[in-house]
Every structure is written in structure tokens, then in C-alpha cells.
Structure 1
Amino acid sequence: MKSTATSRNPLVPTLVFAALATAIVSSLGMLLVPSISQRFSVDIAAAQWMLTVNLLAGAVATPIMGRLSDGPHKKRLLLASLAAMFLGSVMAASAPTFGVFLAGRVLQGLSYGIVPVTIAIARRYVAAEHVQNTISTLSVTVASGIGIGYPLTGIIAGIFDYSYAFWFGAAFVLATICVVWKVVPAGPDTHAEKRPFDYAGSGLLALGLTSLLLTISEGPKWGWSSLLTLALGVFSIIVLVLWVRMEIRLDHPLINLRTLKQGEVLLANISAIALGAALYIAMSVSSLVAQADAATSYGLSLPVFWAGFVIFPLSAGSLAANRTVRLVAKRVGIQAMLPIGAIIMAAAGTMLWLLHSALWEILLSMLVFGIGMGASYAAMPALIARSVAAQELGSSVSFNQVLRTVGSSFGTAISAAIIATHPGLLGEASPEGINMTFLLGALLCIVLGAALLADSARRWLRKNR
């Protein structure tokens, strides 16, 4: 008999708490790059490897954790992942050298794979009538939590120093481990299929994604036309093509790519790339504008203590949207929330492009961005969940999470390339570079929103013929 969580059962809040831990750990990055550069006496370009290695580890770990979450030992997997995040946070907080610090950031990268695991647990143990809302909430929690994590990071690092921010992350993860240990059903899950693990597919995907993300993240520094960039890019494409061909032929692949033939899954995955890029552009460049000197003509000269609060409205908007989505989706369907969210994000991106010279303009844009993000991110896993078998849910959602990460990498690389090719007199980002980057983020959402609307119209016409 299937054990299910009810409104009196603390399982859902526990899973949300675990997803929030992911957001807290994920926020220990962008704002702290200058502090890490100063602490370990490395330049800014080297310090940014704290972001790169974290991203690489997450991209590799997420699909593996997603597939393992479809197996019988869901709680064990969640606890092991949280334990690695805790160890990584402690290493980063107490690191005597930059190398040890980066090793800690690698372990923290497992945070990216936590959400697919919590979604797989929810699909198995939450009552059927509450599953869709729970999955939507878990997906939005990470993005919403980042809006909370950034201000907390700024406050802690501003009052004390960067290490206290990582100690806070470690304490939060430790509390999460205690709650998960007590509340999540022990297992093993007798409903889960026991299938062989795809080691070869895991290795190829890890190699391909690592090569691709390194090409994207380091391309602006190496030069897009350099031999190293081109060779690594071509190598990553070859490896990923080989991986796709192998996965399609296997009976038990790491990720069942056949599910991409289903329209809703394909829409969710395409949206993950585009919106991941647009979101990262908005967050990173808004943080840059907030901390830049007023002499640049666009900077707000905010100290790190206050700079994190620029992202806070994103959290408020996404939380509000998550509650509204449940009501609106009952009338128009969950699929309609994806184009609606993309259009709202397009409006926010346009606002950022045209209006970013005052603090209130950025705060308002981030609020609207959060509303659109909440609608879109709630729709994506819900569409996947209703389109794939329960045995494929963890791997399918994890693949969507990987594509968000890849999209974020594209956003990082493209924005870095635009800003690097449009420097100011002293090497800082120029107003033209800032405007072009914001414009790119807006165009991504506009194009995606238009494509999703056209697809919705086509489906409606076919249905009503």
C-alpha cells in the first residue's frame, strides 16, 4: 500500500526546506567573487572559477542524481547529497588555500541535483491530488530562495566576511539533514523498478557537458576564435552526439530521450534553456549595475551589504506567482502558464533594458521578472510530470534542470563577451555593453514567448476543428 503525505504530514514542508537549502547554497557565489579574489590574492578572472567549477559539478551530478532518484533509495540519495553539500560548505568556509576552496565549491555543486530528487520523492509519497501543486512549488522554491539567499549573503559578508556566509550555508544544510532524516520515509521504495545503471552514458554525458560548459564559460577569456576554444567546442559536440546515439539504443538509458518526442516535454526543455539564460543575464547584470561606481553613469554604488537586496523582489514575485498559478491553471490549464510566464519575463527584460538608472526601476523589474519566472518554472516540471511515466520522472526533471544550467552558462558567457568587447575608459563595463546585454535578455524572452504563443494557437486550432 502506497504511503502518502496529507496536509497534516510534514513531508511537503520538509521537501521545500531541502529545496530552499539548494537555493541558499547556490547564492553563495556571485556577490562573493571580489571577496574571494582579495582573500586568496588571485585576480577576478581566477576567482570566477568558484562559479565555473560549481556549475560544472552541478551539470555532471544532476542527471546522475535524477536517474538514481528513480530507484528505491531516494532518502539515502537525498541525505548523501546534503552531506556532501555540508562538507563542501565547511571546506569553503575554512579553506587555507584557493585550491581547497574550489574543492569545497565542487561538492556544493551537488545542490543542483537536489530538486529532481525531492520531486521524485513527492511523486512517490504525496497524495495524488496534491502532487502537481507540490512539484510546482518545489521547482519555484529554488529560484525564489535565491532571492532570499542573495540578501542574506550580502548582509553576512558585509557585516563579517565571506567565510561566515559559507558557515551559515553549512548550518542551514545541517538543519536540513536533521529534518530529512526524521521526516522523509526511510524506504526502500518497493514501487521503484530496479534497473541497471548506465555507467557509460554517465561518463559520456559528464565529459560532453564539462567540455561544453568550459567552452562557453571560458570562451570570452580564451577568445572565441582561438584554437583551444574551437577544439574543445567541436570535441564536446562529438561526445554529446555519441551520447545521444547510445542513449536512444539502450533499454535503460541514463535519460530517456524518447520522451522528447512528446510536445509538452520538448516545450519545457526548450524553455529551460532560453529562460535560464535570460534569468541569469538579468540577475548578474543587475548585480553589476548595483555595485558599479556612480561615475560609470549607470552604477548605483551600493555596498555588498545592500547589493544582495536587488535580487529580493525576484523572490517575492515568484512566491506570489506560485500561489496564483494554482488558481489560474485550473481555468486555462497548466500548459498556458508557460507562454504567460515567458511574456511577463519579456516585459520585465524590456523594462530592465530601457529603465535601469535608478534603484526603484531595477527593483520593479526584478519583481515582474519573478512573477514571470514563478509561472514558467511552475509549469515546466508539471508538464513533464504529466507526460512521462513515474519511473522516468527523476531523470526527465533532472535533464530539464541540466538544460537550465546550460542556459545559465550561455547567459553568463554571452553577457561576459558583450561586456568585455564594450569596455569603459578604465576597463569597467560601458553603458553600451550594459544596454546590449539587457537587450539580449529581453529578446530571448520575447522570441520564446512568441513561439510558445504560436504553438498554443496551433494546438487550439487543431483541437477546435
Structure 2
Amino acid sequence: MRGSGRGLVWFLLYVGLASAVIGSLGAPLITAVAEAYRVSLAASQWTLTIALLAGSVATPVLGRLGSGPRRRIVVLTVLGVEVVGSLLTVIPLPFAYLLLGRAAQGSGLGLVVLMMAVARDHLDEQRAARTIALLSVASTAGIGIGYPLSGILADQFGVRAAYGLGLVVTVSAFVAAVFLLPHAPNTTTQRGVAPTATAARFDVRGAVLLAIALPALLLVIGETRLWQQHAGLAVVILVAALLVLFGWAVLEARTEQPLVDVRLLRHPAVAAANVVMLVGGVGMYLLFSLITRYVQTPTAAGYGFGLTTFEAGLVLVPFSVLGFVAGRLVPGWRERVGARLLLGASTAVVLAAFVLFAVARSRLVLPVVAIGVLGLGVGAFSAAMPAVILAVTPAAETASAMSVNAVVRSVGFSTGSALGGLILAAHTTGTFPTESGFTTAAWLGATATTCTLAIVALLPLKPR
């Protein structure tokens, strides 16, 4: 049943924003957690890492579990798990329970792809396209909401109050889902077989292999210290993770009811879109991490502005605002100019943000402008991407196909973050990296973004 349901649209967007807020809670609270729980910064970093790892595994799993008639129960179950996890982050328990709670919260990062499937099934075509575009933007630009809110709560009331924000968000999302989330159409489509009323068998082998390969891949990519001190070991782990991932893909291709239908990835437009997402994601998150680190660097380092966690969070507000503006406008533009031109133009905007940060950052307003321009580019890029994939994807495979793209984006973001860390570490002689390290990283990111432009121009993004 399709309609224009405005209430459903707002619910879907709220869940998308909630996922972004939950995911962003770890980053601004690392120092506060280390102090409150009396653990090292390295241990505290796991409050962010474990949520992202849980999300990377949960996203494709939820994409398959939620592709059939059981989607409503899957969404409610995951939101329930998030509520329990949020309680564990708020209740004064040992540090291990905080990590367990963050892992439970991270499992909800895969809900965005299910919200896209709901939009495609229950909204008219035009409104579904706009909603899916905004959901794609919300999963990244929404961090501009979580950062400042969690920062001010931590500064004023302590780290558990900041995590209380996650509890409020997850409980409200669960209650809203009980009343607003519709049942999925009672059909499933598997590899060209006629729709049936039964749910597909879950691919346990594929899920286990993916649960091994993805965390290993994301961990080794993001472990800057490992690459600095044990590069050989890092290469071995990286190769092993890629081999397991390759084995998983072969298994999926031979499985009747796979976790992810890899045949969809053979379509030139889908394959090209994921390559663009991977390379583009490296550059986008590289600049994001550079700017947030630069503005928080104390002025004693000879540069930077020494902003607090809350102030640095406010710097991200233009990123989110302009990202959502772009996400709102892109669906209308796509019909007139096409996906290739939109992806190329948005990548060019990201490139402009890199150049601006590389050449001008002496006053605080300049990094703020740069991250606003970045938000505009990332928002337009994220909003245009689903249309390329879904144009050649069966409706029943919406969640599964978009979950793969979400994982590819996570790998790109992790690579960009790690690349920035490695470059800055190479330019560090004392406590802080030299300012030239930021310049070098910015120009390297600009080069990666230029490569993305070339890929957009050359690969077959147009559906056949």
C-alpha cells in the first residue's frame, strides 16, 4: 500500500537521525569517559570503535532480516536492544558494561537501510525518492546534532548525562515505531523466484564470515599505531581480512538465499556506485577529521583555536545544516541533470572544501566555512548515491543493496580517518603535529577527491 504519509516520513527521518546521534556519542566523549571511568584514552577510544564495528556487521544482517514480512519485528527488536544498551551506558556500572552498551547501541546503525526499504514500499515514488535521499544524508550529516548536544551535556552534567541523550533518543524511537511503523508487504523475492508469503531462510554461514572479515578489515584500517609500529603485521591482517571477504563473496554467489545477493553488485551501475562511494568516502572523512582536530588543537601549538568539545561540536552545525539542505534539493535536480552530473558536481564541491582548508585557515571562520562547504558536498553526494543503486535494484532487495553501500562507506570513512592520522603522526615531533601535516593531508585528500571525479566521469553510473 502506497501513500504520501507525512507522519511516516517524519518517523523514518527521526530514526535515521537517531542512528547518527547514537553513532556520534563516542567521539566527543572519549576524554570524559577516560576521566570518569579511570581508564586510558586508548581504552576509552573503544566506546566509539565497538559501536562502529557492531554497526558494520549488523547493517548487512539487518538488511537481509528486514527484507521480508518480518521487517517490523526486526526493527522493534533492534530498537529494544538499543534501549537496553543505552541503559547500560547511563547506569553507574564498570567500564566493561559501558562497552557492552555501546555495542548494543551500534547494532542500530543498520536501521537506516530498513527505513529506506519502508519508504520504497509504503510511499509514493516521488516522496520515497526524497525520503531515501534524506535518510542517506542523515546517516552522516546528523552527527552535527549529536556532537554539540553530547558535548555540552558532558561539560555541564558529566558523561552519563551525555549518554542519557542516547537513552532518550532510543526510547522515543521505539515508542514511535510501535505506533507508526507499518508491516512490510507480505512477499519476498529471491533470485527471480516468484514472490511468496514466507520469509527467506537466513544465511548463517554468510553472516559468520562477514562478522569475521568486516571487523578485522575496519580495525586494521583504523589502527594508526599498528601501521606505524608493526606495518608488516598490519599488511598480513589486511590481506587475511580481504581473503575472507573474497571467500564470503564466492559463498554468497553460490548460496540460494544469500545474506547479500552479490549478483546485484555485478550490474555496472551498482558496482560503479560502490567504487565511487569507497574512494569518495576516503576523502570526505579525511577532511572532516582534519577540521575537527585542527580547531581543537591548543593555540600553544602555534596554530589551532583550542576549542572545547562543545565549541567544536558547534563548528559541525554548518556541516549538518548544509548537508540537509543539499539532501532536500538533490531529488528535484536529479530528474533534470542526471545522477552522473550530480555526483560529479557534489564531488567538485568537496574538492573546493579541501582547497579552502589547505590554503586558508588562519581565522576560525575559515575552517567553519570549509566544513560547511564539505557538508554541502557530502549531503549532495549522499543523496544522489541511492538513486543510482535503486534504479537497478528490485524493491525486495532495497535494504540488502543499500546495506552493502553503507558498509562500503564505512570502509571509506575508516580509511580516510586512518590516513589522516598516519599523515599527522608522521609530522609530529612533540605533543602536536606541525601545521604542515594538516596542509599535506589536505592536498592528499584533494588528490583522492580528484580521483573520485575521474571515476564518476568514466564508470558506467547510468542504468541500462
Shorter chain as normaliser: what TM range?
Answer: over 0.9
Asked if structure 1 preserves the Cα contact closer than 8 Å seen for 2:4 and 2:123, the reply is yes
Q: CA deviation at 1:226?
A: 4.6
Equivalent residue, structure 2, for 1:192: 188
Measure, in 1, the Cα distance between the counterparts of 2:337 and 2:121.
27
Aligned to 1:166: 163
- 1:448: which partner in 2? 452
Contact 1:147 1:312 (C-alpha < 8 Å) held by counterparts: yes
Match of 1:240 in 2: 245
The match for 2:129 is 132
Q: Which residue of 2 aligns with 1:4?
A: 2
Q: Alignment partner for residue 285 of structure 1, among 275, 287, 290?
A: 290
Contact in 1 for aligned 2:276/2:455 (Cα 8 Å): no
Counterpart selection for 2:414 from 409, 412, 433:
409
- Per the alignment, residue 80 of structure 1 pairs with 77
Distance 1:337 1:438 in 2: 23
Picking from 267, 291, 300, the partner of 1:295 is 300
Q: Do the aligned partners of residues 205 and 412 (structure 1) sit closer, same or farther apart at CA in structure 2, a change above 3 Å counting?
A: same
1:432 aligns with 2:436: yes
Q: Quote the Cα distance in structure 2 between the aligned partners of 1:328 and 1:188.
A: 30
* Amino acid of the structure 2 residue aligned with 1:103: L
Q: Are residues 1:373 and 2:378 paired?
A: yes
CA deviation after TM superposition for structure 1 residue 105, in Å: 1.3
The amino acid of 2:187's aligned partner reads H
Aligned to 2:27: 30
User: Are 2:150 and 1:147 equivalent residues in the alignment?
Assistant: no
TM-score calculated relative to the size of structure 2: 0.93
CA-to-aligned-CA distance 1:207-250 (integer Å, 9 cap, x gap):
01121112112252364645542332232122112111111122
Query: Does 92-101 or 405-414 show the bigger shift?
Result: 92-101
The Cα offsets for residues 338-395 of structure 1, whole Å up to 9 and x where unpaired, read as: 1111111111122122222321111111111111111110111121111111121111
Give the count of matched residue pairs. 455
* Equivalent residue, structure 1, for 2:95: 98
Inter-partner Cα distance in structure 1 for 2:117 and 2:15: 13
Q: Residue deviations 1:90-124, cap 9 Å, x none?
A: 21222432211111111111132011110111111
In the alignment, is the contact (CA less than 8 A) between 1:219 and 1:229 conserved in 2? no
1:333 is aligned, of 331, 338, 341, to 338
List alignment gaps of at least 5 residues for structure 1.
Answer: none
SS in 2 for 1:10: helix
CA distance in 1, matches of 2:459, 2:243: 31
Residue 279 of structure 1, CA deviation? 2.6
Q: Using the alignment, how far apart are the partners of 1:148 and 1:14 within structure 2? A: 17
Find 2:65's aligned residue among 65, 68, 74.
68
Q: Which residue of 1 aligns with 2:311?
A: 306
| Shift in Å, 1:436 | 2.1
Question: 2:362 is aligned with what amino acid?
Answer: S
| Structure 2 unaligned regions, length at least 5 | 190-198
Percent of counterpart pairs with the same letter? 33
User: What is the rounded CA distance, in whole Å, between the counterparts of 2:290 and 2:423 in structure 1?
Assistant: 11
Conservation of the 8 A alpha-carbon contact between 1:159 and 1:305: no
Q: Distance in 1 between matches of 2:76 and 2:340?
A: 33
Match of 1:213 among 210, 218, 238: 218
Query: Could you tell me how far apart the structure 2 residues matched to 1:337 and 1:84 are?
Result: 38
Residue 202 of structure 1 aligns to a residue whose secondary structure is helix
Q: 1:231 maps to which residue?
A: 236
Per-residue deviation at 1:88?
Answer: 1.7
What is the aligned counterpart of 2:12 among 11, 15, 35? 15
Q: Is 22-31 or 398-407 further displaced after alignment? A: 22-31
> Does the aligned pair in 1 maintain the 2:340–2:457 contact within 8 Å?
no
CA distance in 2, matches of 1:38, 1:346: 38
CA distance in 2, matches of 1:79, 1:356: 46
Q: Structure 1 residues 130, 57: CA separation in 2 closer, same or farther (over 3 Å shift)?
A: same
Is residue 137–residue 378 contact of structure 1 (8 Å, CA) maintained in 2? yes
Determine the structure 2 residue equivalent to 1:270: 275
**What TM-score, normalized by structure 1, do the two folds share?**
0.93
Q: Which residue of 1 aligns with 2:104?
A: 107
2:367 to 362, 369, 388: 362
Contact 2:119–2:128 under 8 Å retained in 1: yes
Going from structure 1 to structure 2, the CA distance change for 1:235 and 1:110 (only over 3 Å counts) comes to same
